[in-house]
Amino acid sequence: MALRSALINAMTNSARKAARGLLRDFNEVEHLQVSKKGPADFVSAADRRAEKTLHAELSKLRPDFGFIMEEGGRIEAKDGRHYWVIDPLDGTTNFLHAIPHFAISIGVLRDDELIAGIVLDVVRDELFWAEKNAGAFHNDRRLRVSVRRKLPEALVATGIPFHGREGHDRFRQELATVMPEVAGIRRFGAAALDLAYVAAGRYEGFWERGLSIWDIAAGIVLVREAGGIVTDLKGGASMLESGEILAANDMLHGPLLKLVGRT
């Protein structure tokens, strides 16, 4: 059995407590689909409740850590070094439409370096976790990225710009460039889980633009510790600042970067 550090245990216990509330709320969403008002306000409230639970639990466990949160913004660290990076509900649109594919994502920054992260698939109860120089795991099984080495064998995930956001034309160009070269492309709507799936070897790669730090912080640690490569879409290291990301195994990262870079 994999030995989890106190830091990983703190994140895991907090995420599981928040997950119980999300599951209760998710079971109500399908009933709300038929209401006149619809479930959007309810889902926003569920998101905030989960974040409130995570903030309360993690504050008790590490009172000197700061927070970078989707809903609550930034709270400065008392120790000036450590930050929890929290997405309480990655895959909000899936949740809104009663699609059981969403996650809680928690990363840890120390002196602006990502050192740990977990992604909890709330419905499937799959826990993906990793810590710098300690490996990546699915529950208690060690993770490694895929060993496939040819693009025609590769299954690749991506994200499509949401309604009202820029970038649809560029995405269509990227899709037209990548699609003929790979075995298939998936769009499941939860970037944290997409990155976890790359770490687990379920996908060979994943790219997306327009993401926020809380979408990708934990997933970056997972992929790196599983032996993969993570960069921005220019091959650099500005993922957290730019919101652009490409994650893949060591053999396919370069070819995928060239394809996406054509656009």
Find out whether 250 and 148 touch, Cβ atoms under 8 Å: no
pLDDT of residue 34: 45
| Cross-strand pairs, 206 | 157, 247
pLDDT of residue 261: 77
Pull the structure tokens for residue 180: 């003929």
In whole angstroms, give the CA distance from residue 165 to residue 174.
16
Find out whether 142 and 2 touch, Cβ atoms under 8 Å: yes
Q: Kindly state whether residues 66 and 193 are assigned to the same domain.
A: no
- How many structural domains compose the chain? 2
Per-residue pLDDT tens digits for 15-31: 999 999 999 989 887 66
Domain that holds residue 127: 6-142
Is 1 part of any domain? no
In whole angstroms, give the CA distance from residue 222 to residue 9.
16
Q: Kindly state whether residues 45 and 109 are assigned to the same domain.
A: yes
Q: Kindly state whether residues 165 and 132 are assigned to the same domain.
A: no
Q: Kindly state whether residues 252 and 174 are assigned to the same domain.
A: yes
Cα–Cα nearest to 190, from 61, 75, 78, 104: 104
CATH of the domain at 193: 3.40.190.80
The mean pLDDT values, 10 residues at a time, for the chain of 263 residues are 90 98 87 54 85 97 96 94 97 90 98 97 98 96 97 96 78 94 97 98 97 97 98 96 97 96 64
Mark which of 142, 172, 190 sits at the end of a domain.
Answer: 142
Largest CA distance in the chain: 51
pLDDT of residue 36: 45
In whole angstroms, give the CA distance from residue 25 to residue 43.
8
Is 132 part of any domain? yes
Mark which of 113, 142, 171 sits at the end of a domain.
Answer: 142
Q: Kindly state whether residues 17 and 34 are assigned to the same domain.
A: yes
Q: Kindly state whether residues 255 and 161 are assigned to the same domain.
A: yes
CA distances for 59 relative to 111, 179, 220, angstroms: 19, 44, 23
Find out whether 198 and 247 touch, Cβ atoms under 8 Å: yes
Q: Kindly state whether residues 93 and 196 are assigned to the same domain.
A: no
pLDDT of residue 124: 97
Q: Kindly state whether residues 125 and 179 are assigned to the same domain.
A: no
